[in-house]
Amino acid sequence: MKRSEPHILNPGCSVVILAAGKGKRMGVTCPKPLVPICGKPALQHLLDTLKQCDLDHIFIVHPREQANLFKQTLDEDTCHNVQWVEQAEAKGTGHAVQQALPFIKTEKVIVLLGDTPFVSKESIQQIKKSKQPLSLISCLTENPFGLGRIIRDEADNVVNIIEEKDLEPDQKAIKEVNTGIIAMHTSILTSYLHLVDNCNNNKEYYLTAILPILEKHQPGAIECMQTSPSWKVCGANTMAELAALERKHLLSVANQHLANGVRIKDPHRFDCLGDLSCGKNVVIDINVIIKGRVSIGNNCTIGAGCILDNVTLEDNVSLHPHSLLQKCHLARGASVGPFAYCRENTQVGEHAQVGCFVETKSTTIGKNSKAKHLSYLGNLEIGERCNIGAGVIHCNYDGQNKYTSIIKNDCFIGADSQIIGPVTIEESATIAAGATVTKRVPKDSLAISRPPQANILNWKKKLTQ
Ligand code: UD1
Ligand code: CA
C-alpha cells in the first residue's frame, strides 16, 4: 500500500471505526454496521459508548458515497463531531485504516470495528491507557470459527493474528481470538502500515498483518489484554450471529434489572431496548418490550406481551396483558388493558381505568374515570369520575382537521354513542346509549338522540300470512 507522509501529532487519542466492508455474509443491502440490533444500528451502540470515553476525534470509514446514508441513519447528536472518511473500495481492514491515517492528528489511535456493537466503555478505557506501541484485546471462545486466531511464541508473547481462511490445520483449534479492538501509537501506522500486503487467501490488506511486521522491527512492542465475556466483544457477520448476539445482550440487560430487584418472570423473554428505571416491587411478566425512556414507579405490574415506548408509570400502576403504550403518562393507581393502545400524549389520571380494545391519543383521562371497553378516545379532555361506556367513539376528524372535545367531571357517556368533535359536555351530564352528540350538552342534563322505540305487534305472524 502507499505510504502516508508522517505529520505532526498532538497528545491525545482518536478512534477510527471501520464501517466500509461489503457485509456479503449478512446478505443485506445497507452497510452491516447500520443493521439494527437491540433497537438501533450496531454502529450507534458503539458511538453511544464512545460518548462516555473522552476521545479527541472519531473517524468513521464508510463505503463510497454513503456518508449521507450513515448521517441519516445515525443519531444527529452523536454524528456532529464525527469525521467521515471514504474507502472507495473495500480492500481490507488495513486499507480502511490507511484511508483515515492522513487525518489523524493525535499520538494515539484506537481502531474499532463497526460490526461489534457491545464493546464496553471499560475495554476502551483500558486500551486507551496502555503505553505499549500496539495493544490489542483478545478473548477466549469455545467457537473461534471465522475469527482471527492469536498466535503466541514460546515465551507466550503475541506475534501474529491469522485469519480463518489462512490457518494451518493445527491452528484451527486455537481458542484465543482477536476482538478487533486495537490501539496503536499513530507513528506505528505511519511507519509500517504501507508494508502490509494482500498475500492471503482473501486478497485483502489486513490490519492484523501489521503485527508480524512490527514484531520484526520492534520485538516486544505488542501487548495483548484478554477480556470476557467473549460475546461482548464479538461482532456479527451473519444474520444468525446477529440474532444470537442480540439475545445475549438482552439477557445481560435483563439480568442487571433482576440484580436490582426487579421481578422479571423470565429474563430470556424480556427485551429492554431502551433506558429503563424501576422502583421497588415491580413485576414484569413474559414477552414485555421496553423502548426509549421508560420509568416505572413502585409496586407496578406489567402484564405479558406489553410494549412500553417512552412511558412514565407512577406508583401502583397495573398494565394488563398485550397493551401498547407510546409517549404516555399514567398516574398513581391507574390501570390499562388488556389489549389497550395508548398512543402519544395520553395522560391517564390517578386510579383511572382504560380497558380492553380502547385506543387513546392526545387524550387526558381524569382521576377515577373509566373507559373499560372498545372505545376510540382521540383528542379528548375527560374530567374526573366519568364513565365512558362500551363502544364510545370520539369522532375527532372530518377528513381535514382534528377537533378536541371536552367531557367535564362526573359525566356518564352511554354505550355506543358518538361524540362529534368539537363539543363540550358539561358537568354531570348523561349521554343516553347510542346517542350522536353534535352540540353542547348542558350541566346535569340528559342528551338522547334516538327515535322512540316502536313495537309492532304480531309482526312475525303478519310476515308468514
Ligand atoms: C475481523 C478481524 C479478525 C477479528 C474479527 C473480530 C481483520 C483482518 N480481521 O474479521 O481478526 O477476529 O474482526 O470480529 O481485521 N471493513 C472496512 N473495510 C474493509 C473491510 C472491512 O471498513 O475493506 C470493516 C467492516 O465493515 C467491519 C469491520 O471492518 O465493520 C471488520 O471487517 P470484517 O470483514 O467483518 O472482519 P472479520 O472477518 O469479522
Ligand atoms: Ca466482522
DSSP letter string, 48-107: HHHTTS--SEEEEEEETT-HHHHHHHS-HHHHTTEEEEEESS---HHHHHHHHGGG--EE
Q: Please tell me the pTM assigned to this model.
A: 0.91
For the purposes of burial, counting CB atoms within 10 Å of the CB of 458, is it exposed (0-12), middle (13-18) or buried (19 or more)?
Answer: exposed
Please report the pLDDT score of residue 1 as a whole number.
86
Q: Are 313 and 331 spatial neighbours (Cβ–Cβ below 8 Å)?
A: no
**Which mutation among 66, 84, 93 tests ligand 1's pocket best, with the greatest number of atoms within 8 A of CB?**
93
Which helix (H) or strand (E) is 425 found in, with range? strand 424-425
Question: Helix, strand, coil: what percent of the chain each, to 5?
Answer: 25, 35, 45
Give CATH for domain 10-228. 3.90.550.10
Neighbours of 2 (CB within 10 A): 7
Please report the pLDDT score of residue 210 as a whole number.
97
Residue 219: which residues within 8 A CB-CB, separation 6 or more? none
- Among protein residues, the one with the nearest Cα to ligand 1's atom 1 is 180
Neighbours of 462 (CB within 10 A): 9
Evaluate if residue 462 carries a pLDDT over 80.
no
Please report the pLDDT score of residue 2 as a whole number.
83
Pairing type for strands 158-162 and 149-152 reads antiparallel
Whose atoms come closest to the Cα of 161: which ligand? 1
Q: How far is the CA of 93 from the centre of ligand 1 (A)?
A: 6
Grid coordinates representing 102 are 492522513
Q: How far is the CA of 407 from the centre of ligand 1 (A)?
A: 61
Grid coordinates representing 54 are 473522552
Provide the 8-state DSSP code for 338: S
- Among protein residues, the one with the nearest Cα to ligand 1's atom 14 is 235
User: Pick the catalytic residue: 45, 268, 351, 373?
Assistant: 373
Residue 194 and residue 196: Cα distance in Å, rounded?
5
Residue 276 and residue 295: Cα distance in Å, rounded?
6
> What residues does each domain of the chain span?
10-228, 253-447
Q: What ligand 1 atom has the least distance to the C-alpha of 147? A: 12
Residue 132 and residue 183: Cα distance in Å, rounded?
9
139 falls in which pLDDT band (50, 70, 90)? Answer: very high
Evaluate if residue 432 carries a pLDDT over 90.
yes
Q: What ligand 1 atom has the least distance to the C-alpha of 116? A: 14
Evaluate if residue 32 carries a pLDDT over 80.
yes
Pairing type for strands 341-342 and 176-185 reads unpaired
**Which mutation among 1, 15, 17, 18 tests ligand 1's pocket best, with the greatest number of atoms within 8 A of CB?**
18
Per-residue model confidence as pLDDT tens digits over 58-69: 999 999 989 999
Whose atoms come closest to the Cα of 115: which ligand? 1
Residue 394: which residues within 8 A CB-CB, separation 6 or more? 376, 377, 378, 379, 380, 405, 418, 419, 421
Q: Are 186 and 112 spatial neighbours (Cβ–Cβ below 8 Å)?
A: no
Tell me, using a 6 A CB cutoff, whether residue 26 lines ligand 1: no
Task: Establish whether the linkage from the previous residue to 321 is cis, with ω within 30° of 0.
Answer: no
Residue 252 and residue 232: Cα distance in Å, rounded?
10
Q: Are 286 and 270 spatial neighbours (Cβ–Cβ below 8 Å)?
A: yes
Neighbours of 253 (CB within 10 A): 19
φ/ψ (deg, to 5) at 17: -105, 125
Name beta bridge partners: 406: 381, 424
Grid coordinates representing 259 are 440484580
Give CATH for domain 253-447. 2.160.10.10
Q: How far is the CA of 115 from the centre of ligand 2 (A)?
A: 6
Please report the pLDDT score of residue 331 as a whole number.
98
CB-facing half-sphere around the CA of 114: CA atoms within 13 A: 29
10-228 and 253-447 share one fold: no
Average pLDDT, the chain: 96
Tell me, using a 6 A CB cutoff, whether residue 354 lines ligand 1: no
Tell me, using a 6 A CB cutoff, whether residue 282 lines ligand 1: no
- Please give the share of the chain, as a percent, with pLDDT higher than 90: 91
Residue 361: which residues within 8 A CB-CB, separation 6 or more? 343, 344, 345, 346, 377, 378, 379
For 156-165, what is the mean pLDDT? Answer: 96
Please report the pLDDT score of residue 288 as a whole number.
98
5 falls in which pLDDT band (50, 70, 90)? Answer: confident
Whose atoms come closest to the Cα of 151: which ligand? 1
* Coil, strand or helix at 79: helix
Distances (CA, A) of 261 to 255, 257, 264, 312: 10, 7, 9, 19
Please report the pLDDT score of residue 21 as a whole number.
87
User: What strands lie across the sheet with 353-356, from one edge to the other?
Assistant: 263-264, 283-284, 301-302, 318-319, 335-336, 353-356, 370-373, 387-388, 412-413, 430-431, 446-447
* Coil, strand or helix at 196: coil
Please report the pLDDT score of residue 342 as a whole number.
98
Please report the pLDDT score of residue 305 as a whole number.
98
Per-residue model confidence as pLDDT tens digits over 346-380: 999 999 999 999 999 999 999 999 999 999 999 99
Residue 373 is a catalytic residue: yes
Q: How far is the CA of 113 from the centre of ligand 1 (A)?
A: 6
Residue 106 and residue 8: Cα distance in Å, rounded?
9
Please report the pLDDT score of residue 202 as a whole number.
95
Residue 287: which residues within 8 A CB-CB, separation 6 or more? 269, 270, 304, 305
Question: Position of cell 505511519?
Answer: 190
Q: Are 202 and 220 spatial neighbours (Cβ–Cβ below 8 Å)?
A: no
For 226-230, what is the mean pLDDT? Answer: 92
Tell me, using a 6 A CB cutoff, whether residue 176 lines ligand 1: no
Provide the 8-state DSSP code for 103: G
Evaluate if residue 94 carries a pLDDT over 80.
yes
**Which mutation among 60, 113, 150, 196 tests ligand 1's pocket best, with the greatest number of atoms within 8 A of CB?**
113
